[in-house]
């Protein structure tokens, strides 16, 4: 029986010619990731195991991004612990204030992940790197510690769901709308512990940032990972960037899938996920009148340069509505610099928005944009659970950068075609 893309990567890293869904394997890792929230826990486990070395100081990445620049004493202590650990073991890919970015934007940009990689990260959105043809998945901090020590991890080989994307999306329809439509269709547990594998002629209309966004939110459907085949778009992005040896895997013609869906991109409309689950989706034509207090544009889902360009296109020459706070978070320092040099920041500031250093802050209700009771936000982030961005009586509406920017202008959730 044939294998899926994900199964082939797992088999190769386990030294096996064949794996099947449900099989337990031990596989070698190409990258182990942690951040300022999860790394301290992993370090405590590492030290509790009496470990005195890491398996490879170039295959561990620690990114201080969640509560940085440090918002309080506890977050400062966490970063200090990780900083000292990284220094002690000469971790080559340690990224702190001034060099860091939002981890899932930073690792692809730095070329630390790429086609054929096997990556674990102590953060659920580690599944982002499937956009580059990698198998990447989130794990707990204990697994991160074990990975840092041994360079290996245990996996249960996932079965897969196939999503064939066809057609060309309309203007203002982006990768965010694609994945929200899919999650709305299959539900937040529709791909539980499965691989979401994307294919089809429609991929040529999705740039690498669209794909990173889609793979990022695979976990919001319960998936173990999301993955795209490597094509010319991937190769162009990874050329002279990816520091590893790219290996391209394609699904066998007789690979088994639990389900197969065809998604016609030409029929999609800008989509919004209402509180309090990403599956609670409506197209922009059916949102009704929802007054908002805050807009967040950025995060590991939609903080890349094309996302900021889209927001700037909508905001140019316009003003943020009175009473609305619009906060923009570039994903990395390089994206920040590129956006500034392109003049995007001038557009944002003249519109009445603020531009932040890269941070995960508002996405998880950490800092830099916390919501008060009763407030509503349109956000390009990936989760809208109860209390996700602040008070338990606040509400988060997930949307694309285009919808978020349009909503900032009107003060209501708005179709970008109408501003």
Digit-coded pLDDT (tens) for 213-224: 999 999 999 999
Spatial separation of the C-alpha atoms in residues 105 and 349, rounded to whole Å: 23
* Beta strands 259-264 and 118-121, pairing class: unpaired
**Do 409 and 314 form a contact (C-beta atoms < 8 A)?**
yes
What is the arithmetic mean of pLDDT over 184-189? Answer: 96
pLDDT at 1 over 90: no
Nearest to residue 148, comparing CAs of 47, 15, 12, 14? 47
Three-state DSSP class for residue 35 = strand
pTM score, two decimals?
Answer: 0.95
Spatial separation of the C-alpha atoms in residues 224 and 157, rounded to whole Å: 9
Query: Which class for 53: exposed (0-12), middle (13-18), buried (19 or more C-beta within 10 A)?
Result: exposed
E-strand stretches of 218-334: 225-227, 259-264, 271-273, 281-283, 294-298, 325-329
Q: In the chain, how many H helices and how many E strands?
A: 13, 18
**Which percentage of the chain shows pLDDT scores above 70?**
100
pLDDT of residue 322: 96
pLDDT of residue 262: 97
**Residue 310 binned pLDDT confidence (cut-offs 50, 70, 90):** very high
pLDDT of residue 361: 87
Report the mean per-residue pLDDT for the chain: 96
pLDDT of residue 219: 96
Digit-coded pLDDT (tens) for 277-291: 999 999 999 999 999
Three-state DSSP class for residue 72 = coil
**Residue 304 binned pLDDT confidence (cut-offs 50, 70, 90):** very high
What is the arithmetic mean of pLDDT over 195-200? Answer: 98
pLDDT of residue 270: 97
Please give the class, per CATH, of domain 271-418. Answer: alpha beta
Nearest to residue 274, comparing CAs of 397, 402, 395? 397
**Which percentage of the chain shows pLDDT scores above 90?**
96
What is the arithmetic mean of pLDDT over 240-257? Answer: 95
For residue 414, the tally of other CB atoms under 10 A from its CB is 26
DSSP state of 2: B
> Taking the mean position of all CA atoms in its chain, how far away is CA 245?
23
Q: In terms of CATH architecture, what is 5-263?
A: 2-Layer Sandwich (3.30)
**Residue 388 binned pLDDT confidence (cut-offs 50, 70, 90):** very high
pLDDT of residue 362: 85
Spatial separation of the C-alpha atoms in residues 389 and 387, rounded to whole Å: 6
Digit-coded pLDDT (tens) for 67-88: 989 999 999 999 999 999 999 9
What is the arithmetic mean of pLDDT over 12-21? Answer: 97
For residue 340, the tally of other CB atoms under 10 A from its CB is 14
pLDDT of residue 363: 85
Digit-coded pLDDT (tens) for 351-383: 999 999 999 888 888 889 999 999 999 999 999
**Do 328 and 308 form a contact (C-beta atoms < 8 A)?**
yes
Domain segments of the chain as ranges: 5-263, 271-418
pLDDT at 60 over 90: yes
pLDDT at 62 over 90: yes
């Amino acid at each position: 029986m044939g294998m899926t893309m994900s199964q082939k990567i797992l088999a190769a890293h386990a030294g096996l010619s064949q794996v099947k869904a449900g099989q337990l394997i031990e596989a070698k890792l190409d990258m182990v990731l942690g951040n300022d929230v999860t790394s301290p826990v992993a370090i405590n486990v590492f030290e509790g195991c009496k470990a005195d070395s890491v398996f490879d100081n170039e295959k561990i990445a620690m990114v201080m991004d969640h509560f940085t620049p440090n918002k309080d004493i506890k977050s400062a202590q966490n970063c200090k612990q990780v900083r000292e650990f990284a220094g002690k073991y000469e971790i080559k890919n340690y990224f702190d204030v001034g060099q860091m970015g939002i981890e899932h934007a930073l690792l692809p940009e730095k070329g630390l992940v790429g086609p054929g990689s096997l990556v674990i990260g102590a953060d659920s959105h580690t599944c982002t790197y499937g956009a580059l043809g990698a198998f990447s998945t989130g794990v707990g901090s204990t697994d991160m510690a074990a990975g840092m020590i041994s360079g290996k991890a245990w996996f249960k080989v996932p079965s897969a769901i196939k999503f064939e994307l066809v057609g060309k999306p309309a203007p203002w329809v982006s990768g965010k709308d694609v994945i929200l439509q899919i999650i709305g269709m299959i539900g937040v547990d529709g791909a539980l512990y499965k691989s979401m594998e994307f294919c089809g002629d429609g991929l040529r209309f999705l740039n690498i940032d669209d794909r990173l966004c889609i793979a990022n939110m695979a976990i919001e459907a319960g998936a173990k990972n999301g993955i795209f085949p490597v094509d010319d778009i991937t190769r162009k992005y990874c050329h002279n960037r990816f520091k590893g040896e790219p290996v391209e895997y394609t699904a066998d013609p007789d690979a088994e899938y639990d389900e197969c869906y065809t998604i016609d991109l030409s029929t999609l409309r800008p989509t919004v996920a209402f509180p309090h689950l990403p599956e609670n989706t409506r197209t922009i034509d059916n949102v009704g009148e929802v007054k908002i207090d805050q807009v967040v544009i950025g995060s590991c889902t939609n903080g890349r340069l094309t996302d900021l360009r889209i927001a700037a296109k909508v905001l140019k020459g316009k003003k943020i509505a009175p009473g609305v706070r619009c906060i923009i978070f570039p994903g990395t320092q390089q994206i920040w610099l590129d956006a500034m040099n392109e003049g995007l920041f001038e557009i944002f500031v003249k519109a009445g928005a603020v531009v932040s250093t890269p941070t995960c802050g508002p996405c998880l209700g950490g800092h830099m944009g916390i919501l008060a009771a009763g407030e509503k936000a349109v956000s390009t982030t990936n989760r809208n659970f109860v209390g996700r961005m602040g008070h338990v009586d606040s509400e988060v509406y997930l949307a694309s950068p285009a919808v978020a920017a349009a909503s900032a202008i009107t003060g209501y959730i708005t179709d970008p075609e109408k501003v």
